[in-house]
Chain A
Amino acid sequence: MGRPVRTDSPSSEGRRARPGRALARRLLPLSGIAVLILLWDVALSTAGGHRLLPRPFEVVRAIGELTQKGFLVKHVVASLFRVTWGYLAAVAVGVPLGIVLGWYRRGGMAVAPLLEILRPISPLAWIPLAILWFGVGDVSAVFIIFLGSLFPITLTAMNAVRGVELVHVNAARNFGLRGPALLRRVIYPAILPQLLVGLRLALGIAWLVVVAAEMIAVSSGLGFLIIDARNAGNRYDLVVAGMVLIGAIGIALDALMRGLERSKALAWGYTAIASAEEPPPDPGRGAAPAPAAP
């Protein structure tokens, strides 16, 4: 019996890569950006007069200026610092909380509606309360980021636990696993693929939120840079430079998280998520694997 071929999406190594095509695939995503920059520059140079946007080279110059004066590193580090702490706190609270809520159905039923109500409230709406509770400063910003990522992380973990296949739980119980050992050796690995997707989306939210929080609560970071550049002298080249940096770092964070999802031990989870014909997980728990009832 030969090793069966994996039926992955064709975007992985599956398709035979001719060198020309491989190059085109790498250049294609960049070409859109190049065209945008070109149009941007051409439009501004022909329209002249009213300057609604800085020109691309001015933005590049502004980034150079920030780098030279040491502001670039300072602001980026400040933003990343806040995101790191707010996000890690949300992971530390949200993952265990979500697992517990998913596992103990009654607890989940009691708390889930509360989470569902809090979730659609933009984390930015909490800014006044955050400032009231923690004052103007890093703690407020970190708190806002924490809230912004907490709800999606908790709900993802909760739903993932509810979706764990009963047959896996029963098999684990059969081998004598109970309580923490069951959570660590079966529930946690079973939810990991779905959890990582949730964690990646939550990190994206955290990165969106930090910029807004920094416009109000603190005097450093990329959000502050943008608002300060405007207030302190209408330096729109610095404003756009800040936006470009935010975009670039956002992509980098996302790529980092996607890298985690590529582990071979997780591949099963993504094909399962991708294939719609997966049977829905059994709703019951602690019962039999598909009792032969009606």
Chain B
Amino acid sequence: MTKNAPVKVRVRGLSKAFHTNGHEVRVLEDIDLDVHDGELVCILGPSGCGKSTLLNIVGGFLSASSGEVTIDGAPVRDPDPRRIFVFQERGVFPWLTVEGNIGFGISGLAPAEKAARIAHYVRLVGLEGFENAYPQELSGGMKQRVEVARALAVNPDVLYLDEPFGALDSITRLVMRGELLRIWEAEKKTILFVTHDIDESVQLADRVVVLSARPGSIRRIVDIDLPHPRDLSSPRYLALRDSILEEIGLAHKV
């Protein structure tokens, strides 16, 4: 269905090089990508391939060396509250309570409306009872949920998630993936999700964008034509996962 939706994020001919100590390090090379409205796209690649840099350029935190990113046709120059970047749980403000964090981006609203919105997202991410807790008192998974709720509370069109579950233990990670899909289906956001975890990408994405090692370029875009919830032992799931493993050049035996 999202295939026929209009293009939300358009990346054209995007390259990026960093200059350190007189050396030029090419990080991204000639990326072309269209992300449709409401689509969940995973950007997958080995560490250091520039996938995080790509997301930061799309998010407006970094500028491209050449090429262009447009969203709804307008070029991206700065971060924008309509597109929220979710960092690993480190992005939560430690001096604010759960409520304070979730309400951070909506301080302009009338108090009653703000309180209602906070309560809604506290419920959505399952943090009832922790409204007045400080991040220090929360586990990693809970902090991650605070950050997702904080992002959703400003009602953005697009969410950028940069290995959001990378710091969590494997059980919490599985739970969080389920939660993300539930939220995505409820809120109908466009999501760009950076990960180095092949299983994660095949479990979540409509499409998986496989990047090469540095300088990162798109090797292949894999359509994941599986309905949610996905059966992680179905032959189709395994076939898709294996084709990506092969694409990256890894034998699927340890």
Chain A interface residues toward B at CB < 8 A: 1, 3-4, 6, 165, 167-168, 170-171, 173-176, 185-186, 189-190, 192, 264-269, 271-272, 287-294
Contact = CB atoms under 8 A, between A and B. Distances in A.
A268 B94 contact: yes
Nearest to A267: B136
B162 A4 contact: no
A291 B137 contact: no
B90 A165 contact: yes
B49 A292 contact: yes
Interface stretch (B53-61, B184-192, B219-227, B234-242): B53-61
Interface stretch (B65-73, B79-87, B116-124, B197-205): B79-87
Interface residues of B, number: 44
Contact of A268 (B80, B135, B139): B135
Contact of B139 (A1, A267, A289): A1
Contacts of B95: 189-190, 192, 265-266, 268-269
Interface of B: 18, 20, 25, 27, 47-53, 56, 59, 61-62, 78-81, 83-85, 87, 90-91, 93-96, 104-105, 107, 130, 133-139, 141-142, 154, 162
A290 B134 contact: no
Contacts of B135: 268
A226 to B, nearest CB: 43
24 contacts: A1-B141, A4-B138, A165-B90, A168-B93, A170-B87, A171-B85, A173-B78, A174-B59, A174-B80, A174-B81, A175-B104, A176-B80, A185-B107, A264-B134, A265-B134, A266-B95, A268-B94, A268-B95, A289-B61, A291-B52, A292-B50, A292-B52, A293-B27, A294-B48
Nearest to B61: A288
Contacts, number: 104
A175 B154 contact: yes
A186 B25 contact: no
Nearest to A3: B137
Contacts of B52: 288, 290-292
A294 B23 CA distance: 11
A192 B93 CA distance: 13
A6 B53 contact: no
Contacts of A293: 18, 20, 25, 27, 48, 53
Contacts of B133: 3
Contacts of A271: 136
A189 B91 CA distance: 14
A27 B120 CA distance: 51
In the complex, the 7 A-B pairs of residues with the closest C-beta atoms, listed nearest first: A268-B94, A288-B56, A175-B105, A189-B95, A292-B52, A174-B79, A176-B81
Contact of A3 (B61, B79, B81, B130): B130
Nearest to B142: A1
A170 B85 contact: yes
A266 B83 CA distance: 30
A267 B96 CA distance: 11
